[in-house]
Structure 1
Amino acid sequence: MLSQTGIYAGAFPKCFNRIRKLGYKWNHKRVYRVYCELKLNLRVKRKKRIPPRCPERLLVPNKQGECWSMDFMSDSSGNQRRFRTFNVIDDFNREALGIDIAVSLPAGRITRYLDKLAKYHGYPLKIRVDNGPEFTGKTFINWAKSH
């Protein structure tokens, strides 16, 4: 077989060896022709790797309102209906500043809720979040840069 030259890559050598073990005396060219006709020779698309980042050390803030942490949680009610909660916590005294509960929490609703919290507590100097889709979207990033 021509696997040493690199012509066949992927799962074809396994298929060819399996066919030979079953007792068929077909050569690799014939098996490869059938393999291609069945469209089994499609390339596997690899997952893109996220570049490594240097996370900052978690420092305890010196005063209230300096740094907020935000995250989502999900649960289901008694009738199996799923809902999500958006939690905002002040890192200085670990006080829960607010919890928003809804079935759907898009980034626009999150930014409106943060503006509502900021009217009462003031805007924080830093925000600590994970890499969720609500936090990496343009709506939230533009809000964070403007405030």
Structure 2
Amino acid sequence: MTGVQAYVAGEGDGVPCRTPGTGDGAPGADGLTHRAARQAKPGSAAADPPEQGERLHKELAELRAALATQPVIDLAGGIVMAVAGCTPREAWEVLVDVSQHTNVKLRDVCGHLVDGVAGPPPPPRERLALGAALRRLAERTAAVDSAGQ
């Protein structure tokens, strides 16, 4: 175990053990002490370190993917804001609308839009959906503006 070791007072020396129940005093692979090893519930993270490791690896991969795609999503939102003169929330709604109407992942829609700034334009289906989403936004904005006057 790296970093902080958990010490549990009680049974004998109360220090973590290499293998739960051996009492050799060295930290175990799972970092459990004698008492914690005995009290771990079946199916819990403490009882199933391999499952916990798999879960943590999956979560880490998802977080890395989110970090990699977030700048592209932010850029695409900025493009929509510049084109439509809308708020960040409205830009997000437009991008989600395009994603849902084309059945294309949001990160891919955003990537196509950002790539289209200096490269090939987004696929025709996405361009049509973007145009429709921007028209719906303009209609909503016009309706709110006229209701407020």
TM-score, with structure 1 as normaliser:
0.30
Q: Normalising by the residue count of structure 2, what TM-score does the alignment of the two structures yield?
A: 0.29
